Chains A and B, each alone.
Chain A
Amino acid sequence: MTARRWLWRVALLGVVTALGALLVSGTWQLVAGGVTGSPPGGAPPCPLGRDVPIMDSPHVSQHAITGVQYTSTPPTSGPHFSFTVATGAYSSPVPDGLTVHALEHGHVAILYRPDAPEGVRRTLGAIARRHSTDVVLAPYPGLRPTVALAAWGCLDELDATAATAAADTTDATAALDAGRVTAFVEALADRYHHGWRG
């Protein structure tokens, strides 16, 4: 009876140990990435767009992030908030601290000038809907090109072909190289993530 009891105890201990081991292994990697953020470097060369040096990327407070100097505009790595943002379209700007965390989870940020033409925004909205689990789409005040595509350590910039120069935000016919945007999203989504990606 006692030997049988010990067998049960060992089996139970084995299950508990296996469940505990999940905390530091596999997809979850609680210790490795979920808590600490990402170290500098570590991402392969960008298949599209240009490489941007990867900064040390710890989790910081809202107060601390105001003093951060990122290596690009918009940023593609660097200090960020400890929580991330759901993918999808946003009508207001999303803080850099959130966008960077989304990139760290393997998502792609499509950021556009707030005065981007209506046609451009509509095209981007359709792309964001089709790639709803990969893309964060939001306006980005102070952006020089019409659209910036950001992934972890990668950046691409696009201008609309027609209406940007005239700054006609109501122009529904203004065109954007949608194929280039889609190619960037498909090539860069899920290329990097620091673990714990749901």
Chain B
Amino acid sequence: MPGHADTRHQGAFDRFVVVEDGADYVLGRPDLGIYVSVPEPGAVFVRAMRGGASVDEAAALAGEAAGQDVDGAEFVAGLDAAGLLAAPVDDPTATPAGGRRIRWIERVDQRTAARLFGRVAWTCYGAAAVFVIGAYLLRPELRPNFEQVWFVPDPVLSVLFYLPIGLLLAGAHEAWHWLAGRALGVPAVFRLSYRGGITLVFETDLSQIVTVPRARRYGPFLAGMAFDVSVLAVAVGLRLAHQTGVLVLHPTLDRLLAAVALAQLLQIVWQWCAVMFRSDGYAIAATALGCRNLYRATWLTTKDRVWRLTADEVDELAACGPRDREVASWFGLIYLSGLVTLWWSFLTFGLPVLVGLIQWVVVNLGSMSPTSIAFWESAAVSAYLLFGVVMPPVLAVRERRLRRRGVLL
């Protein structure tokens, strides 16, 4: 029986990676994107199997590390149940997730990518951050405000003109994550997908970063914000040069740069504050705090405090590991402070724009004047909001109801 398991799974064990992670080890299959955390004997077992040992031989070695007998067959069954012994996948970056992979970026070799994340590059990113903070502190006129969204005298055109720019910057933010992963030799996926049917979203799958030591993971997590702060510094610097007469920009370009600066600043605020939505800031915090599943541990701890947990959730929280549970006991306050900051930024920058735009749409549609451009702009905005914002949650609720009734599987 053990011999049979050896032959059947040997190909799978050849694909395993084993990485020390604090007191434990990460075992995983990069070709499947599945990783688990195990104590040292588990790592010893897998290394032995990878080296061609039988299950019994590997169990004996693991037993030595554990100081007690190890049931090799049971451990193999556990790995199998976790999906780690599935047949090998040829493409190490293939994932079951939707979206279209952007392969041209994958031609960037590791050495080229590494230039963007070397000591000099990080010094430049840091200098950009210091410059922006200094400029905002010393030159209040450069600070952002919500009016900068309307950089042309038409609200719909302002949004339409900014959409491709915003999409480009969001794509570059994600590409910077990907490039930082590439610089470390981590295979990652960069893809473009649709949300709600019409909203384009760039995504980087960096899940395989768990195969590198924690100290080296910060670069890929910080890379997106490094790009954002660089763009912000350029925009603020150009506006400062314009205001001080060093440079004369076209007035529309000056206002566009103000809009870009506002968007980049909000992006950075989001990444640091939206920890409860697993933003880049969450990844950095979880890495620094030595946690593996801080997100779920914090949610479950908070839910337990305020409401109650189901039996499954109690088991899930218990399985989170002592370090995650310990940090989760206070990390809910970080969630809360992030949420308060996001609410403040929404009230200060988002809500005035939203209310202005919605009122504009309502009064123009209500005027029933098809000869005015604003009427048709308002109709277009309404259609966009209907299909892009309202329909996805409506469809999700409908799908949930159908599933509950058993009509939809």
A64 and B360 contacting across the interface, CB-CB below 8 Å: no
* Given A62-B374, A63-B367, A85-B147, also A35-B251 (CB < 8 A): no
- Selected interface stretch from A47-55, A76-84, A151-159: A76-84
B298 interfacial contact with A, CB 8 Å: no
Of the candidates A4, A27, A82, A87, the one whose C-beta lies within 8 Å of that of B355 is: A82
Contact call B245/A8, Cβ cutoff below 8 A: no
Q: Which residues of A contact B254 (CB under 8 A)?
A: 88-89, 132
Closest to B369 in A: A63
Distance of B255 from chain A, by nearest CB (Å): 5
* Interface of chain B, main secondary structure: helix
Q: Whole-angstrom distance between the alpha carbons of A181 and B179 in the complex? A: 51
Do A83 and B145 touch across chains, with their CB atoms under 8 A apart? Answer: no
A81 to B381, CA, bound (A): 16
Residue of B305, B373, B375 touching A8 (CB-CB under 8 A): B305
Whether A61 lies near B366 (C-beta < 8 A) is yes
Task: Decide if A61 touches B147 in the complex (CB within 8 Å).
Answer: no
Evaluate contact between B356 and A91: CB separation under 8 angstroms: no
Known: A28-B347, A30-B351, A89-B251. A82 touches B363 (CB 8 A): yes
| Cα distance, A105 to B353, chains bound together (Å) | 14
Question: Which of A44-74 touch B at CB < 8 Å?
Answer: 59-64
**A196 interface residue per 8 A CB criterion:** yes
Interfacial chain B residues near A102, Cβ < 8 Å: 147
Q: Are the CB atoms of B347 and A22 closer together than 8 Å?
A: yes
Q: Are B306 and A28 in contact, CB atoms less than 8 angstroms apart? A: no
**Which positions 348-372 of chain B face chain A at CB distance < 8 Å?**
348-349, 351-353, 355-357, 359-360, 363-364, 366-367, 369, 372
Q: How many A-B residue pairs have CB under 8 A?
A: 119
**Interface 9-mer from B91-99, B149-157, B212-220:** B149-157
Query: Which of B355, B357, B364 lies in contact with A62, CB distance below 8 A?
Result: B364
**A63 near B375 (CB under 8 angstroms)?**
yes
List, in ascending order, chain A residues with CB within 8 A of B305's CB. Answer: 4-5, 8
The answer to whether B153 and A90 touch across the interface, beta carbons within 8 angstroms, is: yes
A36 CB to nearest B CB, Å? 10
Contact B242 A62 (CB under 8 A): no
Contact A85 B153 (CB under 8 A): yes
Contact residues in B for A84 (Cβ distance below 8 Å) = 147, 150, 356
Indicate whether B36 reaches chain A with its CB closer than 8 angstroms. Answer: no
Contact A129 B352 (CB under 8 A): no
- Measured CA separation A165–B334 after assembly (Å): 66
Q: Contact size class for B? A: 35 or more
Interface string of B128-163 (1 = CB under 8 A from A): 000000000000110011111111010100000000
Any B CB within 8 A of the CB of A130: yes
B360 touches A82 (CB 8 A): yes
**A87, chain B: closest CB distance, angstroms:** 7
Q: Which of B153, B347, B349, B375 contacts A98 (CB 8 A)?
A: B153
B343: Cβ under 8 A from any A Cβ = yes
Residues of A within 8 A of B352 (CB): 34, 196, 198
Residues on the A chain within 8 Å of B348, using CB = 27-28, 198
Residue among A4, A9, A81 with most chain B CB within 10 A = A81
CB of A162 within 8 A of chain B? no
Cβ–Cβ < 8 Å partners of A105 in chain B? 147
Chain A residue contacts of B239, Cβ below 8 A: 132
How far is it, in angstroms, between the C-alpha of A29 and the C-alpha of B193 when the chains are bound? 38
Number of interface residues of A (CB under 8 A): 45
Q: Is the CB of B255 within 8 A of A129?
A: no
A19→B340 contact, CB < 8 A = yes
In contact, B243 and A129 (Cβ under 8 angstroms): yes
Query: Among the listed A15, A87, A95, which residue makes an inter-chain contact with B147, where contact means beta carbons less than 8 Å apart?
Result: A87
A-side contacts of B336, CB under 8 Å: 15
- A12 on the B face (CB < 8 A): yes
**If the complex has contacts A5-B305, A198-B147, are A35 and B355 also in contact, measured as CB distance less than 8 A?**
yes
B364, A86: Cβ atoms under 8 Å?
no
Q: How far is the CB of A132 from chain B (nearest CB, A)?
A: 5
Provide the bound-state CA to CA distance between A129 and B239, in Å. Answer: 10
B58 within 8 A of partner (CB): no
Q: In the assembly, what is the distance between CA of A105 and CA of B349, in Å?
A: 15
Query: Would you give the shortest CB distance from B45 to chain A, in whole angstroms?
Result: 41
Given A62-B372, A63-B374, A98-B153, A22 and B343 touching (CB < 8 A)? yes
> Is B258 at the interface (CB under 8 A from chain A)?
yes
The reply to whether A86 and B148 form a contact with Cβ atoms under 8 Å apart is yes
- Give every chain A residue within 8 A of B374 (Cβ-Cβ): 61-63
Q: Given contacts A28-B347, A82-B355, A133-B145, are A59 and B363 in contact (CB under 8 A)? A: yes
User: Besides A132-B243, A198-B352, 17 other CB < 8 A contacts?
Assistant: A5-B306, A61-B372, A62-B367, A63-B364, A63-B374, A82-B357, A83-B150, A83-B356, A84-B147, A88-B251, A126-B245, A132-B141, A133-B140, A133-B141, A196-B352, A198-B145, A198-B349
Interface residue ranges, B against A (CB under 8 Å): 140-141, 144-151, 153, 155, 239, 242-243, 245, 251-252, 254-255, 258-259, 305-308, 336, 340, 343-344, 347-349, 351-353, 355-357, 359-360, 363-364, 366-367, 369, 372-375
21 A-B residue pairs with Cβ-Cβ distance under 8 Å, sorted by A, are A5-B308, A8-B305, A15-B340, A19-B340, A22-B343, A28-B351, A34-B355, A61-B366, A62-B369, A62-B374, A62-B375, A82-B359, A82-B363, A83-B150, A84-B150, A86-B151, A98-B153, A133-B141, A197-B145, A198-B144, A198-B147
